[in-house]
Every structure is written in C-alpha cells, then in structure tokens.
Structure 1
Amino acid sequence: MSRDQETNSEPVRLLFEMTREDNPRLYDDLIRFNKGTKRVNRLRFLAHEGLMAQNWMLMPVAGTLSQATASALHAPSKVNPAVAGHVVQAFDVPMLDGDD
C-alpha cells in the first residue's frame, strides 16, 4: 500500500473545546445533545451539510441542462454564504489573545 492510500484509509479524530462565545448558534445546537455519539453525529451532519452547501454554490452549470433545470440552478439559493461560512469557521484554529 502506498503512503497516500494509507493516509486516505485512516480515520480522522477530533478533540476540541468550544464555548458559547466562540459560536453561539453552533454551541446552542450541539449542547442540546448529551456528550457522546449523538453530539458527534450532529456535528458530523452539520459539517457535511455545510460542505455540501459550499460545493453547491461552486458547481458550474453544464451546457446540456434543460431550460427548466438551468433556471432552477440560477434561482436564488436559500443558503446564505455568510452563514454557511460559519460551519467552516467553527473548525478553524481559534485565535489566541493578542492575535489580530
């Protein structure tokens, strides 16, 4: 097995702490669940949906789409890019005191 194949098969493990001041909406959503599997699954779901929303906004429109499909793709998205960005921001390294 090559190094790339070994890396791709390894699970990703995360351990992080979050306070309400870091991201109030995400904190309030996650705190509804007890520690453990349910909370982890909720975070996994939110991260997946945020990734899908981010990819949806970047998807190019193919020239072979029907007129109805093309107009549906150009319809205003119900996903607010600023809000979707908070999902990505939640996984950024927290700023330390004194960082600008």
Structure 2
Amino acid sequence: MSTDIMKDPQPIRLVFELARADHPRLYDDLIRFHKGTKRVNRLRVLAYDGLLAQSGVFAGMRRDLPLQPSGSGAQEGSGEVTNDIFAPAIDG
C-alpha cells in the first residue's frame, strides 16, 4: 500500500448481486433483512468476522492450529465451561 492511500482513505462503494445458487447460507442470512441499512450492516459484520477468523483472532479458528476440545468433555454446570473467560486477552 502506498502512503498516499493511508493519508486520505476514501470510502469504498460496493454494488454487487448475490444469487442463492452461489452462496445459499449467505443469501439466506441476508435475505432476512429488507433492502437497506440493516442488510448492509449485517454484511459488514459477516465480512469483518470472516477477516478476524481468517487472521486467527478467534480461538481455535486458525488454519495451522487445530481446535483442541476439552479432553474431559465439559458438562453443563461444570467449571470447565467458564475457564476460558479468565484466559489471557486475544491480541491481533
């Protein structure tokens, strides 16, 4: 990226067509919203979450690190379910 782009970032305008046959799950999720702001915001959230998942910010979602479930199979009500709340923060 050039420094000129970083100094004066211009908004990106996207206009695209999505057919259900191309991506049924994405289409079904987006079609729940009427045309407009809510649908656009939902697409933004999905895109950003996808970017975070791709870069490995979400635990267990990196391609090079397999998800490691608890060996004991935590049961509802056990303390194992909440142990990760006190884990170190996720830094990108």
TM-score tier by shorter-chain length is 0.5 to 0.7
Task: Report the secondary structure of 1:19's partner residue.
Answer: coil
Higher relative CO (CA 8 A, sep ≥ 6), structure 1 or 2? Answer: 1
After the TM superposition, which segments of 4 or more aligned residues of structure 1 sit over 3 Å from their partners? none
CA shift for structure 1 position 3: 2.8
Deviations 1:67-96 (A, max 9, x none): xxxxxxx66179xxxxxxxxxxxxxxxxxx
TM-score scaled to structure 2, two decimals?
0.58
Unaligned runs of 5+ in 2: 57-61, 70-92
CA shift for structure 1 position 58: 6.7
**Residue in structure 2 matched with residue 89 of structure 1 by the alignment:** none
**Residue in structure 1 matched with residue 4 of structure 2 by the alignment:** 3
Percent pairwise identity: 54
Which structure has more helix as a fraction of its residues? 1
Query: Map of 1:18-97 to 2, 5 A cutoff?
Result: 18-56=18-56, 57=62, 76=67
Larger Rg: 2
Instruction: Give the superposed CA RMSD.
Output: 2.4
Task: Report the secondary structure of 1:53's partner residue.
Answer: helix
Match for 1:37: what amino acid? Answer: T
Question: Aligned pairs, how many?
Answer: 61
